[in-house]
Copies of this chain bind each other. A is one copy, B any other.
Amino acid sequence: MDFKRKLSAAQGKNNSLLCVGLDPDVAKLPTQVAGTPQPLFSFNKAIIDATASLVCAYKPNSAFYEARGAAGIEELKQTCAYIQEHYPDIPIILDFKRGDIGNTNNHYAAFAFDYLGVDAVTVQPYQGRAAVQSFLDHKDKGIIVLCRTSNEGAGEFQDLDTDGRKLYLQVADKVAKNWNANGNCLLVVGATAPAEMAAIRQIVGDDMIFLVPGIGAQGGDIEATLKAGGPNLIINSARAIIYAGNPRQAATEARDQINKYRSQP
């Protein structure tokens, strides 16, 4: 099944727009987990089992695995395989924000889609559509392009005025109009910038799905996000859920809070 249908089915089944970011930092894990041979996978397994009925997707960020080298990549693969085996209805978004020339991107795509078998990836816009084509050609996969990110200082280039329109709006416009021939493009739009999100929504229309980082630890507001972005969202939370005393409860509350504002006109 392609990513967008799988996502839609999971959103319906679990009544959820919540995506849990599987970003385990060994330095922050409980001692009894951190000392095991597979700390990242053991930690993720517990989070996944606790939250699989509450989410529309999981989003491991590659950086947290790479920091542990080959062993970490092995744990990333185990994490993906665990979801694929036990919760095959939940799509996996690999957040790796890759961007290179086309020939090289083929190899990044092989890592994501052949080795890990994930359903979607995040990519960088800076080198243009031709470079990203290696990803876009995977028609059944979600290709999620950075548009307006959630970090402090994101506006340094993204907010520059380009031919009468800010750069992030140029990215949004080109992705929606020129990159999306296979209908498999999404955009990353941070929850920390609701005004920018509303402007992007106006340009790309209601159907384009936004992956929204920045709620929870980064301070984005759920109500403002739903108001600005409409219902076609994947709302990611990582630290606020995975390090919670009770991750299932934290995920339930996040899902329900999102649904509260989702149902309002």
Contacts and interface: CB of A to CB of B under 8 A. Distances in A.
A130 B156 contact: yes
Contact of A63 (B104, B151, B167): B104
A151 B125 CA distance: 13
Interface of A: 23, 25, 61, 63-64, 66-71, 73-74, 77, 95, 97-102, 104-105, 107-108, 110-111, 114-116, 124-131, 146, 149-158, 160-163, 167, 170-171, 174, 213, 218
Given A102-B152, A130-B154, 7 more contacts: A64-B104, A64-B107, A67-B111, A101-B151, A126-B149, A127-B153, A160-B162
B107 A25 contact: yes
A115 B69 contact: yes
B104 A61 contact: yes
Given A151-B102, A160-B167, A70 B73 contact: yes
A100 B162 contact: no
Contacts of A107: 25, 63-64, 66-67
Contacts of A213: 101
Contact of A127 (B73, B100, B154): B154
Contact of A131 (B66, B129, B151): B151
Contact of A158 (B61, B95, B128): B128
Nearest to A166: B162
A130 B150 CA distance: 12
A63 B115 contact: no
Contacts of A150: 101
A67 B70 CA distance: 12
A99 B62 CA distance: 11
Contact of A126 (B61, B68, B124): B124
